[in-house]
Structure 1
Amino acid sequence: MALTTDLAMRTALSGMCAKCSNSLRRQGRLPNGILQATQQRQLHTRRRSLVVRAKSFPPSLARPGHSLPTKRSSSSFAQRLFGGGGQASAPSGNATAPKRVLGADDLFHSFTDSPIPEIRRRAAFIKQHASCPHPDHHTGATAPAHVNFECPDCGIPVYCSKEHWADDYEAHLEICDTLRQINEDDHDLRSGRFFPEFEYAGPQIDEALVNMTSWDTFLYTRGFQAINDDRSMRQATRLLTYPVTVASMLHELSPYNIQKGGRLTVEGLKSFSALRYTLHPPRSGGGQDVKGLRIEAPPVRLFILGARAESSLPRDVWTQLAHLFPEAKFHLIFIGPESMANRDDEFPLPPRTATNPFGAIVEDRVWPTMKISTIVDYYHTIHKTGYFHPYDPYFDCFVLFHPGLGHPASSHEWEETIPLLLETKAPIIATGYTQEDMERDIDWVNKTAAGEFDILMEPGENKFRSLRWDLNDMDPQDISAGNWGIWAFRGKRYVVGQAVEDLADTNHPVFFLQIRGNPQG
């Protein structure tokens, strides 16, 4: 009887994780012998998984004279993203931990006198390029001048002189606290501490629903480690905002709905319901044997246009998208002339050949259900060749992170692209750094494509925006947050309808075609 019970427990625990088995052992409900056997089996499974993934690493990234790119830690990438390199946490398996440079109570320093060389270089860049915002420089009373004086409260160069800072102090107070927060966050990122907030949750179990009401409920229901510090939360959300913003629009439990205050329009419900139908397929009863073979839907293609920093995010950040949709497949396609930014270790780019006409870098083993392609080119150039044709609203979606559609410096780059996007009839999700940035983009689209698009979601603040504020080194007065605002639109659909109209002089109906601007389905 004891042998039978022991065998039954071993069988039941064959798929149990180490965390659950240890929990049972602490409660005295799991014999040590079974625990040891279970842990050995789990260790063997993990090792075998690592070997399989290593063998399946895409050979296209291994070029003569270049080693395969090493896995990037999220902390080291975050340092480059926020303005320079620095010391990152030691990767797993490294015996030497990074040296702690700054303590938790020693994060505020003047940019010019900072103990971090990267921040001192950043201060020099700001002083060389940023202009003093004092009104005298705009009225002509004083010639324009670069900033040179650092506010003692925020430690960032903001005015050309102490006199101008004191004279305009009330205006500076509006952003002084935020600038100090940016200062401390920058030093924290380079302090050499260990960053537990960059340890991400794994696959989502079927029995646990994700709550997308806010960052707190999302991280809790996804099984992330508890983040009890505001600064750590800001650091974590700065990277996670990219995949979670997309997921919050496409998930069946999206916080954006058609109810009052939900901001989703009727047309938006039609478009996103089509994508959700694909991303949340019903159980097919398929398996790994021949009898379990089932027809599967093609992957959902997310075209991320004008890609910059988001294309070089650590891949475990983007796999969060795959964890939220475990039954679906994804193909992320980063397109843009700057899509290889921060990826110097992967140069030179693959040659353009007949099988790879745009020199795409393909990462085919990011996750079993996720593939990533990066193309350094303008989207309208690719679209005109029909390379990604045909487009299907059930499987395609465009994402524009801070595109600058209406910005004078970048709007010309979108003049050819936006009409082509509207032709596909696929939803287009766009974000903005600030409300002003987002409204400027909307005005530009209204001006260039008036009457040719439908709003899918009314513009407003993004529930999953970055909680960390960023500083524009060219203008310290310009403070923004990653993906602060979000809205969505799509090319207007025209359908052919049939109506019956009685003629005054006959009793026979006349069938005619009517073009209606109000889309159907």
Structure 2
Amino acid sequence: MALPADLAARSALSRVCTRCSVSLRTQPRISNGFLSTSKQQRRNITRFPAATRAVQSSPTKRFPSVFARNIFSSNAQAPAPESTEPKRVLASDDLFHSFTNSPIPEIRRRAAYIRQHASCPHPDHQPHGNAPPAAVDFECPDCGIPVSCSEEHWADDYAVHLEICDTLRQINEDDHDLRSGRFFPEFEYAGPQMEEALVNMTNWDTFLYTRQFNAINDDRSMRQATRLLTYPLTIGSVIHELSPYNIKKGGRLTTEGLKSFSALRYTLHPRKTGGGLDVKGLRVEAPPVRLFILGARAESSLPRDVWVQLAHLFPRSRIHLIFIGPESMANRDDEFPLPPRTPSNPFGAIVEDRVWPTMKISTIVDYYHTLHKTGYFYPNDPYFDCFVMFHPGLGHPASSHEWEETLPCLLETKAPIIVTGYTQQDMERDIKWVNKKAAGEFDVLMEPGENIFRSLRWDLNDMDPQDISAGNWGVWAFRGKRYEAARKDNVE
């Protein structure tokens, strides 16, 4: 039987994407979601056989495939004890299969979805071509993904396809690896560490080493691990006092950015007060730092062990993660129905207050501007608040209208706003939209550029196989202007 942690990690790795707002609505609903993971991980482990109880004491120790099932003999008199050993579906040297003929049913369904919704990119099917649009129906033999309507168009446009063919093959193999049924040591996350052991955030390798993660010596395993960790680490790398971003030349942090993030760091890295557990040791503590994840989609459903890594980076501060967005509970309603809206809980927030002693997670299915106008989170303080938007599509034609009311509310808070993009084009489009809607009303805190802690795994857009991206590829930050300047005309 597949463990709940596997369902969370597998789904997050394969479906978390800026385009998931479309794909999640069109794909079959997942019967075992992320929130049930956090609930089941807290249950008593005595339901496991005694022989396997030691292995199962930590839910993140083993991530077997969803395709592993208990196999009982047909002539057995009684059911065999529940087995936690995964059934290996694919060997490490047998990961490449065409999507259509894949041994994994989920990937075959994905191939059918691509054939139904993706269009052939050949110039003949473009607006000025001599043929009407056509759906993709031919799989490239090198990458195994449907990319053209016919073999003739694939061969004719092969030079263009060759630019991304190797990356598509890598995506193919990574997807099969995730469902192969192998043991995933890269999902064994490091726990707390002593404060004297400083974290090095120069890159992924130095961070994993100084955080005492198990060594990851395989490129594919590194890609699988960073696909999840990119979310907490993108935030941590910007607001941590040892951040790789600075005001030096090429450091991308602006003077205003240093002011804003220094305020946050003052709270996140409090000085030692000598407090204790007795009455004489009581000390006044700062309120939790609130990290608002706006437009939350699948990142709100990541295994909670992933988000706890953020708490380990700031062991002496309290953190309150608040996921806000109409899709923040996508594919989770069956496992955790939304609570009714009551006077004490006017927006039906779901609160998980046992994630970690210093971390609490809340999820609200609503738009941020709706909550802001009611004063639900008032007051906002730059010392305790930070907003994060993971590839929100601010400038995308299909989603920009949803941010029209939110942007002025965000600028009003004067708190830092961290934004990521899944490609450089996507990030530049968002910046252009913000400049158009709020020119002269905001300060750039961090210049746009590639995110040091981006996902190393590439993702495929099922609506357009030519469109590949990496989670949180780029990052930049801004906030509402805190200083008003008035021009004085020269008087003769």
* TM-score, normalization by structure 2: 0.84
Q: Deviations for 1:232-254, whole angstroms, at most 9, x for unmatched residues? A: 00000000000000000010000
Question: 469, 472, 478: which one pairs with 2:458?
Answer: 469
Q: Deviations for 1:28-77, whole angstroms, at most 9, x for unmatched residues? A: xxxxxxxxxxxxxxxxxxxxxxxxxxxxxxxxxxxxxxxxx966665344
2:77 counterpart residue number: none
Whether the 8 Å CA contact 2:252–2:446 is kept in 1: the answer is yes
1:102 aligns with 2:90: yes
1:488 counterpart residue number: 477
Q: Deviations for 1:307-364, whole angstroms, at most 9, x for unmatched residues? A: 0011000000000000000000001000000000232443320000000000000001
Q: Deviations for 1:215-238, whole angstroms, at most 9, x for unmatched residues? A: 000000001000000000000000
2:279 counterpart residue number: 290
| Superposed displacement of residue 494, structure 1 | 1.8
Which AA in structure 2 matches 1:131?
S
1:81 aligns with 2:15: yes
Whether the 8 Å CA contact 2:100–2:112 is kept in 1: the answer is yes
Whether the 8 Å CA contact 1:403–1:432 is kept in 2: the answer is yes
Matches within 5 A, 1:188-203: 188-203=177-192
Whether the 8 Å CA contact 1:300–1:396 is kept in 2: the answer is yes
Measure, in 2, the Cα distance between the counterparts of 1:241 and 1:181.
Answer: 19
Size of the aligned set, in residue pairs, is: 430
Which AA in structure 2 matches 1:267?
E
Structure 1 residues 515 and 285, CA gap change in structure 2 (3 angstroms):
farther
1:120 counterpart residue number: 108
Q: Deviations for 1:131-168, whole angstroms, at most 9, x for unmatched residues? A: 00000111231111000000000000000000000000
Question: 294, 298, 313: which one pairs with 2:302?
Answer: 313
Structure 1: unaligned runs, 5 residues or longer? 1-68, 496-513
Whether the 8 Å CA contact 1:330–1:370 is kept in 2: the answer is yes
SS at match of 1:346: coil
SS at match of 1:163: helix
Structure 2: unaligned runs, 5 residues or longer? 17-22, 31-63, 70-80
SS at match of 1:392: coil
Matches within 5 A, 1:382-461: 382-461=371-450
Measure, in 1, the Cα distance between the counterparts of 2:406 and 2:180.
Answer: 42
SS at match of 1:100: coil
Which AA in structure 2 matches 1:78?
A
Structure 1 residues 155 and 90, CA gap change in structure 2 (3 angstroms):
closer
1:55 counterpart residue number: none
Question: 252, 256, 259: which one pairs with 2:245?
Answer: 256
Structure 1 residues 288 and 77, CA gap change in structure 2 (3 angstroms):
farther
| Superposed displacement of residue 95, structure 1 | 3.9
Whether the 8 Å CA contact 2:387–2:417 is kept in 1: the answer is yes
Q: Deviations for 1:436-477, whole angstroms, at most 9, x for unmatched residues? A: 000000000000000000000000000000000000000000
Whether the 8 Å CA contact 1:494–1:516 is kept in 2: the answer is no
Matches within 5 A, 1:9-408: 74-78=8-12, 81=15, 87-88=65-66, 95-138=83-126, 139-408=128-397
Measure, in 2, the Cα distance between the counterparts of 1:346 and 1:73.
Answer: 13
| Superposed displacement of residue 393, structure 1 | 0.2
Q: Deviations for 1:71-126, whole angstroms, at most 9, x for unmatched residues? A: 666534435636887934989x9742110000000000000000000000000000
Whether the 8 Å CA contact 1:80–1:342 is kept in 2: the answer is no
Which AA in structure 2 matches 1:75?
A
Across the aligned residues of Structure 1 and Structure 2, the Cα RMSD in angstroms comes to 2.0
Structure 1 residues 112 and 72, CA gap change in structure 2 (3 angstroms):
closer
| Superposed displacement of residue 290, structure 1 | 1.1
Highest RCO, 1 vs 2 (Cα 8 Å, sep ≥ 6): 2
SS at match of 2:224: helix
| Superposed displacement of residue 206, structure 1 | 1.2
Measure, in 2, the Cα distance between the counterparts of 1:273 and 1:216.
Answer: 26
Measure, in 1, the Cα distance between the counterparts of 2:378 and 2:344.
Answer: 16
Measure, in 2, the Cα distance between the counterparts of 1:118 and 1:88.
Answer: 10
Measure, in 1, the Cα distance between the counterparts of 2:367 and 2:389.
Answer: 13
SS at match of 2:426: helix
Measure, in 1, the Cα distance between the counterparts of 2:138 and 2:278.
Answer: 70
Of 81-90 and 253-262, more deviation after overlay is shown by 81-90
Which AA in structure 2 matches 1:285?
G
Structure 1 residues 238 and 516, CA gap change in structure 2 (3 angstroms):
farther
SS at match of 1:380: helix
Measure, in 1, the Cα distance between the counterparts of 2:177 and 2:4.
Answer: 24
Q: Deviations for 1:160-213, whole angstroms, at most 9, x for unmatched residues? A: 000000000000000000000000000000000011111100012112000000
Whether the 8 Å CA contact 1:243–1:317 is kept in 2: the answer is yes
Measure, in 2, the Cα distance between the counterparts of 1:80 and 1:228.
Answer: 22
Whether the 8 Å CA contact 1:72–1:314 is kept in 2: the answer is no
Measure, in 2, the Cα distance between the counterparts of 1:294 and 1:255.
Answer: 32
| Superposed displacement of residue 289, structure 1 | 1.2
SS at match of 1:445: helix
Structure 1 residues 428 and 254, CA gap change in structure 2 (3 angstroms):
same
* TM-score, normalization by structure 1: 0.80
Which AA in structure 2 matches 1:286?
G
Of 295-304 and 202-211, more deviation after overlay is shown by 202-211
